[in-house]
Structure 1
Amino acid sequence: MAGLRNRPEWQFFAVLPKADPVLATAWWLLLLLRGALPAVFAIAMGWLIGAVQHHDELAGPLTLMGTTFILLQVLTPVHQAVSANLGSRVAAWLNDELARACVEPPGIGHLEDPELMEDLTVAREFDRGQTGPPMYMNVDFTATSLVEMVGGIAAAVVLFGFSWWAPLVLVVAWSATHWLLRESGVWRDRNTSEVRSAQRHADYAYQLAVEPGAAKELRLFGLAGWAVERFTERRRRLFELQYQATRLRERPMIWSLLIVAVANGVVFWALGSAAVGGSLALDRLVVFAQVAVGVSSIAFGGLNWVLDGAAAPVVAVRKLKPAMAPAGALSDGAGPAWSGGGSSRGPVEIRIRELSFSYPRSERPVFDGLDLTIPAGSSLAVVGQNGAGKTTLAKLLCRLYDPGSGSIEVDGVDLRNLDVDGWRSRVAAVFQDFLRLELSLRDNVAPGGAPEADIVAALADAGAGDLADLETRLATGYEGGTDLSGGQWQRVALARALCAVRQGAGLVLLDEPTAQLDVRGEAAIFDRILTATRGVTTILVSHRFSTVRHADRICVLEHGRVVELGSHDELMALRGRYRTMFDLQAQRFTAEVDEEGMSYDTL
Structure 2
Amino acid sequence: MVAGKPFERWRVAGTRRRGLTVRLIGGIIPIVTLSARQNAGRLRQRQEWQFFATTFRARPGLAGLWWGIVVLRGVLPAGFAVAMGVLIGAIDDGAPLVAPLALTGVIFLGMQVLGPIHMALSRNMGDQTAAWLYDRLTDYCLEPAGLGHLENPGLAADQAAARDFDLGQSAPPLRLSMGFIADGIVSFVSGVACALVLFGYVWWAPPILAGCWLATHWLLRESGIWRDRNTDEVRRAQQDAEYHYRLAVDPAPAKEIRLFGLADWVLNRFVLRRRRLHELQFEATRLRERSVLLSLAVVLTGNLAVFGAIGRDLVGGGLALGAAVTFTQAAIGAVAIAFGGLNWSLDSAAAPVAAVLRLREPMATAGALPAPSGPSCPSGPTGSSGRPGSAGPLTAQTGSGAGELRLRGVTFGYPGTGTTVLRSLDLTVPAGSSVAIVGRNGAGKTTLAKLICRLYDPDEGSIEFDGVDIRRFEVEAWRAHISAVFQDYIRFEWPLRDNVAPTGAPDDMVLAALEAAGAHGLADLDTVLAKGYPGGIDLSGGQWQRVALARTLVAVRGGAGVVLLDEPTAQLDARGELEIFSRVLAETRGRTTVLISHRFSTVRMADLICVVEDGAVVEAGSHDQLMRANGRYRTMFDLQAQRFDEPQEVGGDVLA
Which band: TM-score by shorter chain? over 0.9
Matched, 1:238 2:293: no
Pick from 123, 133, 136 the counterpart of residue 94 of structure 1. Answer: 133
User: Is the contact between residue 185 and residue 248 of structure 1 (CA under 8 Å) also seen in structure 2?
Assistant: no
Pick from 123, 131, 138 the counterpart of residue 162 of structure 2. Answer: 123
Matched, 1:142 2:181: yes
2:521 is matched by which residue type in structure 1? D
2:501 is matched by which residue type in structure 1? A
Matched, 1:12 2:54: no
Residues in 1 aligned to 2:399 and 2:293: alpha-carbon distance in whole angstroms: 77
Matched, 1:298 2:337: yes
Residues in 1 aligned to 2:547 and 2:269: alpha-carbon distance in whole angstroms: 37
| Deviation at residue 243 of structure 1 after TM alignment | 3.0
Deviations 1:174-209 (A, max 9, x none): 223333322578332232222222222222222212
Residues in 2 aligned to 1:507 and 1:251: alpha-carbon distance in whole angstroms: 73
Structure 1 partner of 2:558: 503
User: Is the contact between residue 474 and residue 481 of structure 1 (CA under 8 Å) also seen in structure 2?
Assistant: yes
Normalising by structure 1, report the TM-score. Answer: 0.95
| Deviation at residue 265 of structure 1 after TM alignment | 2.7
Residues in 1 aligned to 2:234 and 2:471: alpha-carbon distance in whole angstroms: 41
Residues in 2 aligned to 1:92 and 1:4: alpha-carbon distance in whole angstroms: 25
Pick from 522, 525, 528 the counterpart of residue 580 of structure 2. Answer: 525
2:236 is matched by which residue type in structure 1? S
CA 1:337–1:529: 2 relative to 1, 3 Å: farther
| Deviation at residue 273 of structure 1 after TM alignment | 3.2
Structure 1 partner of 2:518: 463
1:454 is matched by which residue type in structure 2? M
Deviations 1:331-390 (A, max 9, x none): 112322335864585112111111111101111100121111111111111111111101
- The structure number with the bigger radius of gyration is 2
Residues in 1 aligned to 2:151 and 2:508: alpha-carbon distance in whole angstroms: 38
CA 1:185–1:80: 2 relative to 1, 3 Å: closer
Structure 1 partner of 2:476: 421
Structure 2 partner of 1:595: none
Matched, 1:38 2:106: no
Q: How does 1:160-179 map to 2 (within 5 A)?
A: 160-179=199-218
Structure 2 partner of 1:336: 378
1:128 is matched by which residue type in structure 2? L
The answer to which of 447-456 and 256-265 deviates more is: 256-265
List gaps (5 residues or longer) in structure 1.
Answer: 593-603
CA 1:337–1:515: 2 relative to 1, 3 Å: farther
Structure 1 partner of 2:650: none
Q: Secondary structure at the match of 1:579?
A: helix
Structure 2 partner of 1:250: 289
Residues in 2 aligned to 1:198 and 1:18: alpha-carbon distance in whole angstroms: 31
Pick from 15, 23, 26 the counterpart of residue 62 of structure 2. Answer: 23
Structure 1 partner of 2:236: 197
CA 1:214–1:476: 2 relative to 1, 3 Å: same
List gaps (5 residues or longer) in structure 2.
Answer: 1-39, 381-393, 648-656
Structure 2 partner of 1:226: 265
Q: How does 1:352-367 map to 2 (within 5 A)?
A: 352-367=407-422
- Give the superposed CA RMSD: 1.8
1:27 is matched by which residue type in structure 2? W
Structure 1 partner of 2:383: none
Q: How does 1:422-461 map to 2 (within 5 A)?
A: 422-461=477-516
Pick from 87, 101, 104 the counterpart of residue 65 of structure 1. Answer: 104
1:46 is matched by which residue type in structure 2? G
2:435 is matched by which residue type in structure 1? L
| Deviation at residue 314 of structure 1 after TM alignment | 0.8
User: Is the contact between residue 401 and residue 481 of structure 2 (CA under 8 Å) also seen in structure 1?
Assistant: no
User: Is the contact between residue 500 and residue 547 of structure 2 (CA under 8 Å) also seen in structure 1?
Assistant: yes
Deviations 1:34-65 (A, max 9, x none): 11211111111111110110001111121122
2:80 is matched by which residue type in structure 1? F
Residues in 2 aligned to 1:270 and 1:332: alpha-carbon distance in whole angstroms: 76
Pick from 228, 248, 252 the counterpart of residue 209 of structure 1. Answer: 248
User: Is the contact between residue 395 and residue 561 of structure 2 (CA under 8 Å) also seen in structure 1?
Assistant: no
1:136 is matched by which residue type in structure 2? R
CA 1:238–1:400: 2 relative to 1, 3 Å: same
Deviations 1:464-497 (A, max 9, x none): 1111111222122222222211111111111111
Structure 2 partner of 1:549: 604
Deviations 1:261-282 (A, max 9, x none): 3332332233233333433222
Residues in 2 aligned to 1:418 and 1:222: alpha-carbon distance in whole angstroms: 52
Residues in 2 aligned to 1:179 and 1:390: alpha-carbon distance in whole angstroms: 59
Corresponding pairs, count: 592
User: Is the contact between residue 127 and residue 175 of structure 2 (CA under 8 Å) also seen in structure 1?
Assistant: yes
Matched, 1:350 2:405: yes
Structure 1 partner of 2:18: none
Normalising by structure 2, report the TM-score. Answer: 0.87
Structure 2 partner of 1:514: 569
Residues in 2 aligned to 1:166 and 1:275: alpha-carbon distance in whole angstroms: 16
Structure 1 partner of 2:21: none
Pick from 634, 642, 649 the counterpart of residue 579 of structure 1. Answer: 634
Residues in 2 aligned to 1:422 and 1:223: alpha-carbon distance in whole angstroms: 47
Matched, 1:107 2:146: yes
| Deviation at residue 579 of structure 1 after TM alignment | 1.0
Q: Secondary structure at the match of 2:620?
A: strand
User: Is the contact between residue 186 and residue 248 of structure 1 (CA under 8 Å) also seen in structure 2?
Assistant: no
Structure 1 partner of 2:625: 570
1:43 is matched by which residue type in structure 2? V
The answer to which of 165-174 and 448-457 deviates more is: 165-174
| Deviation at residue 82 of structure 1 after TM alignment | 1.0
User: Is the contact between residue 346 and residue 505 of structure 1 (CA under 8 Å) also seen in structure 2?
Assistant: yes
